[in-house]
Amino acid sequence: MGRVIGVDLGTTNSCVSVVENGQPTVIPNSGGYKTTPSMFGISQDGKRLVGHLAKRQAITNSKNTVFAAKRLIGRRFDSSEVQRSIDLCPYEIVRGPNEDPRIKIGGKTFTCPEISGIILREMKRVAEEYLGEPVQDAVITVPAYFNDTQRQCTKDAGKIAGLEVLRIINEPTAAALAYGMARQGDEKIAVYDLGGGTFDISILEMSDGVVEVLATAGNTFLGGEDLDRRIVAHLVSWFEEAEGIDLRSDTMALQRLKDAAEKAKCDLSLREATEINLPFIASDADGPRHLNYELTRDVLEGLVHDVIQGTLKSVEQCVQDAGLTPGEIDQVVMVGGQTRMPLVQQAVTDYFGKRPHKGVNPDEVVALGAAVQGSALVDEEQNVLLLDVTPLSLGISTYGGHFARLIERNTTVPVTKAHIFTTTRDDQSAVKIRVLQGESDIAAENDLLGEFVLAGIRPAPKGEPEIEVSFDIDANGIVSVSARDLATGKEQSITVNSTSTLSDDEIEQIIEENELYEVQLKG
C-alpha cells in the first residue's frame, strides 16, 4: 500500500506531510524548510524555478515570477477578484479561451491549474525524496469557501502533478483533524484560519475520533497579504511625502517593499518596533534614494485593525450558525502564520473569552490534517472519521427566479434530499430543472451546474402535479439530480459534472508537455 501525502496548497506557502507510525509528520524540503513558497518562475535563461528558487528571483525578475496563483484558480477572468489581481500582480494575467485567467511568463501562457500543478509536483517530489518511494495518492486542502469549480481545478492541478487526489478537504477541517486525532472525549472547537490570502472560520465537534463540521464562514479575499498591502501603501505614501517620489508604478520597488513589509510584519509579532531598510529604492536627478523607516507595532496595528475586526464578523456568524455561544467553544485552534500576530491573538481571546490553543504549529497543522485524512481513508488502523460536508448550498431555480435550496451548505455527505415541486401553469406538460449552487436567494446570482427537462407531465391544473426533485451526493462528492413525476413515474436525471476551466484533453496535453519537460531537465 502506497502512502497518502497530505498537501496544504497555500496561497503563499505550501506544506506536505505524511503519516508515519500512526503520527502525522511534516516533510522538510531539500533546503530543510518545512514549508515551500507557492511560487513558480522562469529565469532569464529560460529555466523553470519552483519554490524557494522562484522566490529568490522574485525581486529581480518579478514579471516572470508567479505568486498567489491560488487567488485566480477556478475563477472567471471578468470576476472582480481576477481584475483586482491584475492591478496588483507584476506578472501578466491574460484572458484564456474558456474565459479563465491565464498567466503569461517567459513567453509562455500557463493555466492556473497548471501553475498549481507545478507546485504540487514539487511537493510530491519533496515527499518522494524523503520517503524513498514513489507517491501517488494525495489529499489536498482548499479554503472552506472554495466553490465547485475551484475545487475541481485544484483536483486537475493534482492530476497534472501526477497525483491521484483522493479527497479535497477544507483547510480548517484538516486543522481540526490534526488537532483532534489524539484527543479523547467530546469537544467543540473553533478553527480560526487567517492565511496569506483567505480567512476561514469553522466550528467543529469531535468525539472519539469522529469529526463533524457544525458551521463554516469566511472571506475568500482577506488574508495576510492584505496586511502586507496596507503596510506597502503606508510606506509608499510616507516615501512620497518624504522624498517626493511615487513608487506605485515601479514594479521592482513594489516587490521589494512587499517583501520588506512581510518581514517587518513577522518581526513585529515578536518585538515592538522594526527597521525597514531598502537602499537604492529609487533615484531621480539628485541621485539614488534610500528608504529607511521604523515601523512600530502600534502603527501596524492602527493600519490593520479594521481588517482583524472584519474577521470577527465572520466568526460571530459562524458561532451563531453552529447554534452556540462563544463560551461553549472548548478550544480555539489557530491556523496560518498570520495568527501569530499579537493583535489577532488578542482579538480572538477577547471574543471567545479564552486563549487559543498553543499546541499546534499554525503553518503545518493543515498539511498534517490532510495526511491524517489520507491515512484515515486507506489505513484501517487509523481511528479517525471525518463527516465531511458540502461546501455550498445546492438547489434548483423556481418560479420567479428564486433559488430553492434542497441541500444546505455544510450538510454531511453522502446524502439524499428530496422535495416536491409543482407546475405554475395549467396543463403544463414539461418543467425545466436548473441545478444551481450558491448562497444567494436569487437564482441568477448562483452558479448553474446543469439543467434538464422533465416532459410528459399529465395535463392538470397548475399546482396539482407532484414533481419530486431529488438531490444525491455520494461518498465521493458526485452530485446527481433527478426529477420524477409522482403521477406517471416518469423520471429524468443528470449527474452534475464538476465544471473545470480545463477540458480533459487540455489536461492530458499539459501532462504530456510537462513530462517532456521533465525529460529535458534530466537529459
Q: Which residues bind another protein (CB under 8 A)?
A: 166, 186, 205, 207-210, 212, 376-378, 385-387, 395, 404-406, 408, 412, 414-420, 422, 461, 463-464, 466, 468, 474-475, 486-488
Nearer CB in complex with another protein: 28/477: 477
Residue 131 or 387: which CB sits closer to another protein?
387
CB of 255 to another protein, least distance (A): 44
Rounded (10°) angle between helices 224-243 and 251-267: 120
Distance of closest approach, residue 428 Cβ to another protein, in angstroms: 14
Integer angstrom CA distances of residue 124 from 7, 137, 161, 165, 321: 9, 10, 8, 12, 37
User: What distance in Å separates the CA atoms of residue 233 and residue 237, rounded to the nearest whole number?
Assistant: 6
Among the options 114, 122, 171, 225, which is catalytic? 171
The answer to whether 426 is a known catalytic residue is no
Q: Please report how close the Cβ of residue 75 comes to another protein at its closest, in angstroms.
A: 27
Helix (H) / strand (E) containing 87: helix 80-88
The answer to whether 68 touches 101, Cβ cutoff 8 Å, is no
Q: Is 210 exposed, middle or buried (0-12, 13-18, 19+ CB in 10 A)?
A: middle
Q: Shortest distance, CB of residue 394 to another protein, whole angstroms?
A: 10
Q: Which three cell numbers stand for residue 340?
A: 501569530
- Other Cβ atoms less than 10 A from the Cβ of 203: the count is 27
User: In terms of CB distance, is 62 or 423 closer to another protein?
Assistant: 423
Whether 410 and 389 have beta carbons less than 8 Å apart is answered as yes
Measured from the CB atom, the residue of 254 and 322 that comes closer to another protein is 322
Closer of 72 and 435 to another protein (Cβ): 435
Which one from 148, 193, 200, 226 is the annotated catalytic residue? 193
Q: Does residue 265 have an active-site annotation?
A: no
Let me know if 8 is a catalytic residue: yes
Give the shortest CB-494-to-another protein separation in angstroms: 19
Strand ranges across the sheet with 491-496: 415-421, 467-473, 479-485, 491-496
Core vs surface per residue 329-357: b (16+ CB within 10 A) or e: bbbbbbbbbbbbbebbbebbeebbeeebb
CB of 374 to another protein, least distance (A): 10
Residue 185 Cα distances to 175, 207, 387, angstroms: 18, 5, 17
The three-state DSSP-derived secondary structure of 117-148 is HHHHHHHHHHHHHHHCCCCCEEEEEECCCCCH
Taking the least distance from each CB to another protein, the nearer of 131 and 415 is 415
Told to judge if 70 belongs to the known catalytic residues of this protein, a careful annotator would answer: yes
Q: Which is nearer to another protein, 404 or 448 (CB)?
A: 404
How near is the Cβ of 414 to another protein at its closest, in Å?
A: 5
- Compute how many other C-beta atoms are within 10 angstroms of the C-beta atom of residue 292: 13
Minimum CB–partner distance for residue 354 and another protein (Å): 22
Catalytic residue among 55, 70, 155, 258: 70
Per the listing, cell 537529459 goes with 523
Residue 228 DSSP class:
H
Nearer to another protein, 58 or 178 (CB): 178
Nine cell digits for residue 345: 491573538
Q: What nine digits make up the cell of 291? A: 528608504
Cα separation values, 219 from 165, 294, 336, 393, 508, Å: 25, 31, 14, 17, 33
3-class DSSP state of 408: coil
Active centre residues (catalytic): 8, 70, 171, 193
